[in-house]
Amino acid sequence: MANRYDAISPELQAFLEAQPVFFVATAPLATDGHVNVSPKGLDTFRVLGPRQVMYLDLTGSGNETAAHVAENGRLTVMFCAFEGRPQIVRLYCRGRVVVRGAEGWDDALARFPAQPGVRQVVVGDVELVQTSCGYAVPTMTFAGERDQLVRWAEKKGEEGLVEYRRARNARSLDGLVAPAPDPRCDVPTKG
């Protein structure tokens, strides 16, 4: 039931861009490290071309994806159809993190609506696209985006977010250093 493709077709791009939620999976190289899966929403995903995608990463409780991608580049992005025809699409990628002040930051940020709490942008170079049936994925009706993360980021303010990232987003659960999303974060090296 699964099919493999070398690139994102226009039909798959339309499917990906229509989904209100997607999931990002990464893992460290260490076999005893924690595998991370994060749900994403809020209009933060873009297809740049048949073999490249990106998403706007908002400040959250951890920064596992950035730490894992910095260590080994492995990134999987998954979409499920919760309405309409059942389908699952997985994008197996080589990822990289674009942070404030880095080459490509302004261009990447311009692809998304302005949002508070922007931490970084994750770019995935697609190596394999896999579709599968999604027959066991339940049907659900999309009621709307939640605004709690946006309100939390607005309440923190820019300086509060910098401090939060410094304190809570500098290392993965397994101690890997995440790229500093902002030059003001002064992420310490492991030692």
Provide the residue ranges of all domains of the chain, joining segments of one domain with +.
3-183
List CB contacts of 162: < 8 A, sequence separation 6 or more: 182, 184, 185
As a whole number of angstroms, the distance between CA 55 and CA 66 comes to 12
List CB contacts of 172: < 8 A, sequence separation 6 or more: 28, 34, 36, 62, 63, 64, 67, 68, 178
**pTM > 0.85: yes or no:** yes
As a whole number of angstroms, the distance between CA 188 and CA 130 comes to 38
DSSP 2-35: -EEESS--HHHHHHHHH-S-EEEEE--SSTTSPP
Q: How many residues does the chain have?
A: 191
Cβ atoms of residues 187 and 176 within 8 Å: no
Task: Quick: pLDDT tens for 74-104.
Answer: 999 999 999 999 999 999 999 999 999 999 9
> Which of 2.30.110.10, 2.30.40.10, 3.30.930.10, 3.40.50.1580 is the CATH number of 3-183?
2.30.110.10
Task: Quick: pLDDT tens for 11-32.
Answer: 999 999 999 999 999 999 999 9
> pLDDT 10s per residue in the chain (191 long)?
799 999 999 999 999 999 999 999 999 999 999 999 999 999 999 999 999 999 999 999 999 999 999 999 999 999 999 999 999 999 999 999 999 999 999 999 999 999 999 999 999 999 999 999 999 999 999 999 999 999 999 999 999 999 999 999 999 999 999 998 887 775 444 43
Query: Among candidates 58, 14, 17, which has minimal Cα distance to 39?
Result: 58
Distance of CA 39 to the CA centre of its chain: 8
Instruction: Provide the pairing of β-strand 36-40 with 22-26.
Output: antiparallel
